[in-house]
Amino acid sequence: MSDSNETRGRQRQIHFSFEFFPPKSVDAEASWWRSVEELSAYDPGFVSVTYGAGATSQTPTYAAVKRLVDETRLATASHLTVVKASKGEVDDVIRRFRDAGIRRFVALRGDPPGGIGTAYSPHPGGYANAAALVSALKAIDQDFDISVSAYPEKHPESADRTADIAMLKAKADNGADRALTQFFFDNDVFEDYLNEVRRAGITIPVVPGIMPIQNLAQLKRFAAMCGASVPAFVERRFEGLDDDPEGRFEAAADLAAEQVQDLVARGVGDFHFYTMNKSKLMAAVLDRLGIRPGRALADAVPERLRA
């Protein structure tokens, strides 16, 4: 690395956001809130709360984001989908969230009502996809901050990567502010994808989604459904640790931190962490990156880049 590159490395900042899912019970809410409190000390750029398919899933998400807006200083984004809802119903939800003080959204089409892997059919009177949802959000309020999804290994329903990137361009052209990627583990895949995105004329930030591995077996099952790969080098990190929960924890924290450090070395400065509402592992990852609670982001640069 040249002297000038070393200087840029020392000055580089890491910015990050966290994703939570809403608690599904009173008992779960206490645990969720502890995670929020513990991770909010790291001063994320924003936090997001997931949103399931169908009208019945709105209540826990609304309650969670409302509490975050009312009781914290966290910039809070609500996920929003178009599944099983008419345009009018979606617009009503947008206005309800806006009136509650929510100005940020993660605009998604949403999973098929039958679950991941089943065929998707738009609601006959609804918005067809996330690009249309971005337009609907902007029509209601031009000042909304809107994130959308991106897929380094392509969405499982896309015909190919070209079609997948065309959809991302439509979302960007309709007013999206940034794209948050599906989790991935091979940074070469992300770098290749980002190069293709830029060649397609998409200029919005594409923020890598990082998934610290809570449970490898569960992750592999989920990855298979959503089209993400789990490389052999990831599996090797957990070999021999089936009966060693502490070893699995350390391996997971090391792996996520190393992935971020490698991406930083490639010029990436923004990250979106899928916390799974687990603050202990997320804190361990941040600790490995030299990021401490209450620490200014300007100082939060991996130790190896401060040489």
pLDDT digits (tens, 9 = 90+) for 248-259: 999 999 999 999
The structural domains of the chain, with segments of one domain joined by +, span 12-299
- The confidence score (pLDDT) of residue 112 equals 65
Residue 10 pLDDT level (bands cut at 50, 70, 90): very low
Considering only residues 119 and 7, tell me which one the structure prediction assigns the higher pLDDT.
119
Residue range 264-295, pLDDT digits in tens:
999 999 999 999 999 999 999 999 999 999 84
Q: State the sign of the Cα–Cα–Cα–Cα dihedral 245, 44, 104, 182.
A: negative
Residue 23 pLDDT level (bands cut at 50, 70, 90): very high
- The confidence score (pLDDT) of residue 119 equals 63
Average pLDDT, the chain: 88
In CATH terms, the fold of domain 12-299 is TIM Barrel (3.20.20)
Across the range 54-81, mean pLDDT stands at: 88
**Active-site residue 235, yes or no?**
no
Residue range 195-228, pLDDT digits in tens:
999 999 999 999 999 999 999 999 999 998 888 9
Catalytically annotated residue among 19, 29, 89, 153: 19
C-alpha dist (Å) from residue 52 to 24, 35, 57, 111: 12, 20, 5, 8
Note the pTM of the prediction, 2 decimals: 0.89
Residue 78 tokens, joined = 């609500």
Q: Does the pLDDT at position 65 exceed 80?
A: yes
CA distance 292 to 300: 8
Residue 176 tokens, joined = 């999206």
